[in-house]
Amino acid sequence: MTAVAARSGLVPASFASVARAQVTSSYVPVTQNGMAVHQNAIVIDGAAPLLPSTLNRKHIDRWIEGGATAI
């Protein structure tokens, strides 16, 4: 699916490559409960989450549900 998407030009090649790498990744999460980490830490997500194309109340809800402290 990823390769097809890359060939179609619908997604940037770099993103398709990332998805392919994730399939074969041997990464093991440090914790199985990321939400617990967020409960104890101050989490600031500065990755431009409220760009004009995402002016949607539900998108703000995602950060609340994810336990972010500030965005």
Partner 1 sequence: MAAEVIAWISEQIETRPELMVCRTDDDVRTAKREGKLGIFYRLQGPSPIGLDLDLVWFYKQAGVDLMQIAYNTRNPFANGATERIDGGLRTLGVGLVKACNSALVIVDVSHTGERSQLDAIEASSEPVIISHGNAFERSTTRATSLTRFSRLLRPVGARPGLLAIRPLFPRTSSPRWTTWLA
Which residues are near partner 1 by CB under 8 A? Answer: 12, 14-15, 17-18, 21-22, 25-27, 42, 44, 46-48, 50, 52, 55, 57, 60, 63-64, 68-71
| Residue whose tokens read 């998805």 | 19
The tokens for 1 are: 């699916």
Q: 52 phi and psi, to 5 degrees? A: -50, -30
Residue whose CB is less far from partner 1, 5 or 71: 71
Minimal distance, residue 8 CB to partner 1, in Å: 18
Minimal distance, residue 28 CB to partner 1, in Å: 9
| Residue whose tokens read 């972010």 | 68
| Residue whose tokens read 């770099």 | 14
